[in-house]
Amino acid sequence: MKRRVGVVVFPGVNCDMDTYYVIKDVLKGDVRYVWHTETDLSDLSCIVLPGGFSYGDYLRAGGLAKFSPVMREIKKMAEKGYPVIGICNGFQILVEAGLLPGAFLKNKTLTFICKMQYIKVVNNTSIFTKGYKKGEVLRIPIAHGEGNYYLDGDTLKEVLDNDQIAFQYCSEDGTVGEEFNPNGSTYHIAGILNKNKNVLGMMPHPERASEMILGSVDGAKILKALVD
């Protein structure tokens, strides 16, 4: 079935056009922008919350976007099992909106970090990650100031029990450890799924790793899964 992807635009997001470009021009998918006040998403089969600084990250990252009218509809879609992916700021919004567990802290360096990053596929059963091998190492850029994803012990146990961890930060050869974790996130988590595995939040930017000219195509399969 051909799908139609909605890329949600809150004032202040800045990866909306990049994500749209990859889905439409690189992956040849059907895609449209969704303005944050929209309430009818019935034409869409999946949702991308792109990265950026919705509402300037004022209050805290994602803290204001969760109140936008479109979020009610997105919650409904997520509950019905439609795929929803939040990238970077989109991940933060999904956490703020309660669609994913946890919370975000400032990076352990207390600075913004932008660089190429290695991540490892942990769960490869979800719609987003099924194109990868378990343990496969991907090279995808990160660009964030508040990517230190925090889970308390009970929640960590729960997500481990449910196999919800999609990606972990790692070295080039797949080694996981403190020195390969750029922001200090719990259990080196770079991406996480909800219980039903139809909602994914991830800090790395797959739309920046979908064309060879930009140095990596390792992220393309994640977005491709939404198109096919």
Partner 1 sequence: MADSVLNLEEIIISDRVKKHLEVLNLSEDEYRLIVSYLGREPNEVELGMFGALWSEHCGYKHTRKLIKELPTEGKYIYQGPGENAGVVRVDDVAIVFKVESHNHPSAVEPYQGAATGVGGIVRDILAMGARPIALLDSLRFGDVSKPEVRHIVSGVVKGISDYGNCIGVPTVAGEVYFEDIYSNNPLVNVMCVGVTKVDKLVKAVAKGVGNLVVYYGSKTGRDGVHGATFASAELSSEKEDTRSSIQIADPFVEKKLIEATLELVENGLVVAIQDMGAAGLTSSSCEMAAKGGVGIELELDKVPVRVSDITPYEIMLSESQERMLAIVEPSKLEKVREILDKWELDWAVIGKVTDTRRCVVKYRGEVVADVPLKYLVDMVPTYVKPAKEDQNVKKLRDIKPNLIVEDYRDVILKLLSSPNISSKSWVYEQYDWSVQTNTVVGPGRAGASVLRIKGTNKGIAVKIDGNGRYMYASPYNGVMVAVAEVTRNVSFVGAEPAGITNCLNFGSPDDPNVSYQLQQAIKGLAKACKELGVPVTGGNASLYNETDGVQIYPTVIVGCVGIIHDINKIVDGVFKKPGDLIALVGNETKEDFGMAEILKIIGSDVCGKPPIVEFDVEKRLQEFARFVISHGLISSAMDISEGGMIVPIVEGIIDTKLGARIDLSVMPVYPSIALFSETPSRGIFSFDKEFLDTLKMIAEHYGLKFRVIGEVIDKDELVIEGLPEGSLVLSKEELRKAFYSKPF
Active site residue ranges: 88, 205, 207
Distance of closest approach, residue 165 Cβ to partner 1, in angstroms: 25
In the chain, where does DSSP find H-type helix? 16-21, 69-79, 89-96, 153-161, 220-227
Where do the DSSP E strands lie in 136-222? 137-144, 148-150, 165-169, 189-193, 199-202
- Does the footprint of partner 1 cover residue 17 (CB under 8 A)? yes
- Does the footprint of partner 1 cover residue 184 (CB under 8 A)? no
From candidates 66, 120, 197, 205, binder to partner 1 by CB under 8 A: 205
Cα–Cα distances in Å, from 16 out to 49, 51, 120? Answer: 8, 7, 25
Distance of closest approach, residue 150 Cβ to partner 1, in angstroms: 22
Distance of closest approach, residue 123 Cβ to partner 1, in angstroms: 26
Angle at 184 between CA 179 and CA 187, to 5 degrees: 90
From candidates 113, 137, 176, 217, binder to partner 1 by CB under 8 A: 113
From candidates 2, 80, 115, 133, binder to partner 1 by CB under 8 A: 115
Distance CA 76, CA 200 (A): 15
Helices and strands in the chain: count of H runs, count of E runs: 5, 11
- Does the footprint of partner 1 cover residue 221 (CB under 8 A)? no
Distance of closest approach, residue 202 Cβ to partner 1, in angstroms: 16
- Does the footprint of partner 1 cover residue 114 (CB under 8 A)? yes
Q: How many residues lie near partner 1 (CB under 8 A)? A: 30
Cα torsion angle, 168, 27, 200, 60, sign = positive
- Does the footprint of partner 1 cover residue 15 (CB under 8 A)? yes
CB 55, CB 71: distance < 8 Å: no
> Residue numbers of the site for partner 1 (CB under 8 A)?
11-12, 14-15, 17-18, 21-22, 25, 51-53, 55-58, 111-115, 141, 143, 145, 205, 207-208, 211, 213-214
